[in-house]
Amino acid sequence: MPSQTQTAVILQKKGLIEFGEKPIPALTDEHWVKVQIKATGICGSDVHFYKYGSIGDFVVKSPMVLGHESSGIIAEVGSAVKTLKVGDRVALEPGYPSRYTEATMSGHYNLCPFMHFAATPPCDGTLTKYYLTPFDFVYKLPDNVSYEEGALLEPLSVGVHANKQAGTRFGDKVVVFGAGPVGLLNGAVAKVFGALQVVFIDVVDEKLERAKHFGATAVINSSKLRINDEFELAVAIKEKLGGVDPDIVLECTGAEPCIRAGIRALKTGGTFVQVGMGKDDANIPITQFSCREITLKGCFRYCHGDYQNALDLVATGKIPVKLLVTRRFTFDEAVKAYMFNAEHAEEVVKSIISGPE
């Protein structure tokens, strides 16, 4: 008799990740599909839950399967699904909302209060063999897009959404704080959307070197300036932009010094988008927003159209997401992979877990 369980990568509690067994899910909804997972990226949120047990209001209170940046192959389809078939290679959008809220009806389903999002408490994630999801949150991959690239559509969608929030357009001068995966992809999207100059800021030279493949026209290692001097950093940004202030700041670190420096650097009337998650409260120069009519926008995941846009950017070769990958692990090495990411944050850009087979 075939096994009724499957191995999963489970965050048991803060500080403890183990392999465990979960039931193989049965497909019971005619509008859903069962996907066999083939590749999963390790996200900073996964590592944050492991190290701290919470992100904002999301608190790990019981064991949770990790993983939400995934792609795979269709193993089973519901009877009402007409656009996908068994054997199709797909990327999974890892969150699906209630169908009956104002946020969903308006296209902003990322703000739905009843969002079910993989590997966000209390919802299990994708790091197991089979995963169920609604068919309309699955995207068929063209032949030229690999499983790895399909998994990386998730962070790329954040970059698409952030730039839509910013209103990035031709001629803009954009500053990106943070050259991790989300920062790199935010800058890459900004360049594709028409930004003429994109300045990346980070403290790791290797990451800034990688930014040159993701739209960077200039980089700044802020660790070589006076520590936490937001005014000096604002001056350095202006110099990199040829003596003018940036139109847009995409803040992808969540670090208070970066937030403050970004506000100081931004031009009067510019747009500041907070992408990175940091501590719950930050001390910022709030009068700058009113006195200089700066627009402050949040960025939470992605919404209608963003995932498809991300897929199109990869399929047409406009953004080389595979250059993000710095480490690869098999499913059997998944616990090791999380330990490595937690302990070598400065060395890692993106790790990918393949399988399980």
Tell me the whole-structure pTM to 2 decimals. Answer: 0.95
Find how far residue 188's CA is from the centre of its chain. 13
Instruction: Report d(CA 341, CA 351) in Å as an integer.
Output: 8
Cβ atoms of 96 and 81 within 8 Å: the answer is: no
Instruction: Report d(CA 264, CA 286) in Å as an integer.
Output: 11
- Assigned token pair, 353: 């877990």
Give the model's pLDDT for residue 278: 84
Instruction: Report d(CA 235, CA 244) in Å as an integer.
Output: 10
Instruction: Report d(CA 251, CA 276) in Å as an integer.
Output: 6
Q: What is the pLDDT of residues 122-169, one digit of tens each?
A: 999 999 999 999 999 999 999 999 999 999 999 999 999 999 999 999
Decide: residue 85, CB within 10 A, 0-12 exposed, 13-18 middle, 19+ buried.
exposed
Give the model's pLDDT for residue 217: 98
Q: Where in the chain is the domain with CATH 3.90.180.10?
A: 5-151+320-354
Which portions of the chain are predicted below pLDDT 50? none
Q: Of 276, 346, 338, which Cα lies nearest the Cα of 15?
A: 338
Instruction: Please tell us whether the domain made up of 156-298 is placed in CATH 3.40.50.720.
Output: yes
Q: What is the pLDDT of residues 48-95, one digit of tens each?
A: 999 999 988 899 999 999 999 999 999 999 999 999 999 999 999 999
Q: Where in the chain is the domain with CATH 3.40.50.720?
A: 156-298
Spatial CB neighbours of 273, under 8 Å, sequence gap ≥ 6: 162, 165, 166, 248, 249, 250, 251, 297, 298, 299
Superfamily assignment of 5-151+320-354 in CATH? Answer: Medium-chain alcohol dehydrogenases, catalytic domain (3.90.180.10)
Give the model's pLDDT for residue 122: 95
